[in-house]
Structure 1
Amino acid sequence: MMNLSQPWRAETFGLCFASLNDSCIKTIYSPVFRAPLYLIFTITIILIVFGNLWVICTICSFQQLHTPTNFLIVSMAISDLLLGSFVMPPSMIRSLETCWYFGEFLCKFHSGTDFTLCNASVLHLTFISIDRYFAVCQPLQYHNRITTRVSIFMILVSWGFSAFFGFGIIFSELKIESKETEEELHVACKGGCLALHGREIGVTYSIVFYFLPMFIIVSLYSRIFVIALKHVRVINNYPTSSSSVSKKDLKATKTLAIVIGVFMSCWTPYFMCNIIDPIVNHTIPSLLYEVLMWVAYLNAVFNPLIYAFFYSWFREKSKLLYEKLYKLC
């Protein structure tokens, strides 16, 4: 979901393809600048891949963890795993080389995959909010309404809807602005790869696929927060009394609220730029888009860390899984 035109001022410039007359201009960074960034980005990608793979393996390895909520968590971890495995490595090269060397079709496929995984994460978080709403606000009906079958249906809807619109936007080459932006002039040359920003369609995409779901999520969690406070008071004031919501559900709700909060902190600045950019006549620097896009990608690093710090069951099962793997080795 990134575009590289000439995001940073560098010492020298060249061409992406020296033998082509219609080659894009390439910004050539010094090795002193590029080497540390390649190292940082590579470490980030490794953390994302292995962190989310560990979440998937931990939950899948223990039958008692096979709950509707955890199925949604696993599916979201798969989204982050795919982001780190297939989207971020080419994005790293494009960011630091300022050229796209993998062809027009792969440019579209890469952008479509990026959109799909972003959409999938948002929809998973929306369904997780619905899951937590029933767990806290309607606990007596929770197990009847949120079953494994319902959870799987939510997962299929998340992926199907995301892929349909993610790849549909890219391969339909949908755009509704009346004039070409500087970024689109850049992508017309060989070595450019424009995804979303710089187009007015980015405003519609940001509102429909990000801000609207986030509004639903915040609304649900506001209601959950009010109900959860009531249950906490009952549990604290009357420890021996029976509460329809367990401490375990309340803690899970709190942890997943942190996951959602971190996601919004990482992704909201990027989507705000998508909305503001057309209003200011596309004057937001490409550098800012680059920085915000990588901040958004960092969200995939944080989720496994949140589970590790806030879920005691995840730490316990991770330890057991590590011991099993250690014995096998």
Structure 2
Amino acid sequence: MSSSGSPPAPMQLCYENVNGSCVKSPYSPGPRVVLFAVFGCGAVLAVFGNLLVMISVLHFKQLHSPTSFLIASLACADSLVGVIVMPFSMVRSVESCWYFGERFCTFHTCCDVAFCYSSLFHLCFIAIDRYIAVTDPLVYPTKFTVSVSGICISLSWVLPMVYSGAVFFTGGNDEGLEELVSALNCIGGCQTVVNQNWVLIDFLLFFIPSLVMIILYSKIFLVARKQAKKIENTSSKTESSSGTYNVRVAKRERKAAKTLGVTMLAFLILWLPFMIDSFFDSFLGFLTPSKVYEIFCWFAYYNSALNPLIYGLFYRWFRRAIKLIITGRVLNNSSSTINLFSEEA
């Protein structure tokens, strides 16, 4: 009597006829197309959306402020995620293989970590900027100047790059995990493991700035609520132009804090699953399935594509700037002096 069971499907390898090749577990054609489309759209949005943010801030003189420069630098970090990190991670996630070499795997991982912490540090400095602007608006122009913003930007880039390089290019991330690394090591793989000591440092580097941002924005919104009530009580009593101007400035500062608070919240929501999983996974023996890990990674990556959408949703000046850029009006000699905050800009 013949067996009715079908023969097992032949095992696919990342590199056929190569000893030590990783096993390939690809998706069927339909899901592959969908995943490439979804991940590809995220990468394109991260690159071009953040590029629009950078062009807007750098071109229009009205946006040349300490906060805007921090936002432009944050957009640069998010744009680099779309250029250097997301396209190669897309191939790894969909094809379940790494085709770009071991050295580029280390460089890719280093950039991934560096850009993550660069975004986090930018958001933390933006929170400090907004806190001073809302709680002490009279002193703010002298406390948080363009030069101070430049120092914050430099720290937000240099510290994450030095840290990620020290962890991954020195091989310190897998000290004590030699057996696991040997078991995972195969041609066509890019699985970076991090020992418990570095995972704990990673978590603290993420948790402490996040806690600082949560505290600052909580205080900002309490102060903004008090200011709003005060403005409502005094705006009807004063009709002077200076009073009206101060009311507009106060409202603008509160709206900027609210929008950037949403940006911070989105960052935490999208990055927390990955950070929490990485922390506990290192202490539980790296039990997270690869597909679950990839899902957490892409939640985090999509944060880089989300920020321009938040700006477009909350910032009228950003929508006007995009319109001027897309229509080519930025090529006019006087375009850099256009008032983006006026009702008719």
TM-score normalised per structure 2:
0.86
Deviates more, 1:256-265 or 1:184-193: 184-193
Post-superposition offset of 1:147: 0.5
Deviates more, 1:144-153 or 1:187-196: 187-196
2:262 is equivalent to residue 264 of structure 1: no
Aligned partners of 2:324 and 2:330 also within 8 Å: no
Structure 2 partner of 1:280: 284
- For residues 108 and 317 of structure 1, the distance between their equivalents in structure 2, rounded to whole angstroms, comes to 38
Instruction: Give the total of aligned pairs.
Output: 317
Post-superposition offset of 1:114: 0.8
CA offset digits 1:69-114 (Å, max 9, x no partner)? 0000000001111100111111111111111111111111111111
Aligned partners of 1:177 and 1:200 also within 8 Å: no
Match of 1:33 among 3, 7, 31: 31
Matches within 5 A, 1:6-21: 13-21=11-19
Deviates more, 1:237-246 or 1:148-157: 237-246
Post-superposition offset of 1:185: 4.1
SS in 1 for 2:25: strand
* Backbone CA RMSD of aligned residues: 2.2
SS in 2 for 1:246: helix
Deviates more, 1:34-43 or 1:171-180: 171-180
- For residues 99 and 201 of structure 1, the distance between their equivalents in structure 2, rounded to whole angstroms, comes to 28
Structure 2 partner of 1:191: 188
- For residues 176 and 195 of structure 1, the distance between their equivalents in structure 2, rounded to whole angstroms, comes to 8
CA offset digits 1:156-215 (Å, max 9, x no partner)? 111011110112211111136645575x34541111112346x32453243222111101
Structure 2 partner of 1:213: 209
Flag the 1:11–1:61 CA change in 2: closer, same or farther, 3 A. Answer: farther
2:280 is equivalent to residue 306 of structure 1: no
Matches within 5 A, 1:245-264: 246-264=250-268
- For residues 313 and 26 of structure 2, the distance between their equivalents in structure 1, rounded to whole angstroms, comes to 41
Post-superposition offset of 1:11: 6.7
Matches within 5 A, 1:80-159: 80-159=78-157
Flag the 1:137–1:326 CA change in 2: closer, same or farther, 3 A. Answer: closer
- For residues 189 and 100 of structure 2, the distance between their equivalents in structure 1, rounded to whole angstroms, comes to 10
Deviates more, 1:271-280 or 1:294-303: 271-280
Q: Which runs of 5+ in 2 are unaligned?
A: 1-7, 333-345
Aligned partners of 1:176 and 1:201 also within 8 Å: no
Match of 2:230 among 234, 239, 252: 234
- For residues 72 and 11 of structure 1, the distance between their equivalents in structure 2, rounded to whole angstroms, comes to 53
- For residues 75 and 35 of structure 1, the distance between their equivalents in structure 2, rounded to whole angstroms, comes to 33
Flag the 1:11–1:51 CA change in 2: closer, same or farther, 3 A. Answer: farther
- For residues 32 and 324 of structure 1, the distance between their equivalents in structure 2, rounded to whole angstroms, comes to 39
Post-superposition offset of 1:28: 2.8
SS in 1 for 2:24: strand
Structure 2 partner of 1:60: 58
- For residues 52 and 43 of structure 1, the distance between their equivalents in structure 2, rounded to whole angstroms, comes to 14
CA offset digits 1:40-62 (Å, max 9, x no partner)? 21122111111111111112111
Aligned partners of 1:115 and 1:167 also within 8 Å: no
Match of 2:221 among 219, 225, 242: 225
- For residues 30 and 10 of structure 2, the distance between their equivalents in structure 1, rounded to whole angstroms, comes to 14
SS in 1 for 2:11: strand
Which structure's CA Rg is the greater one?
2
Flag the 1:84–1:181 CA change in 2: closer, same or farther, 3 A. Answer: farther
Post-superposition offset of 1:296: 0.9
Match of 2:325 among 302, 321, 324: 321
- For residues 260 and 327 of structure 1, the distance between their equivalents in structure 2, rounded to whole angstroms, comes to 33
Q: AA paired with 2:134?
A: V
Match of 1:73 among 67, 71, 74: 71
Aligned partners of 1:87 and 1:113 also within 8 Å: yes
TM-score normalised per structure 1:
0.90
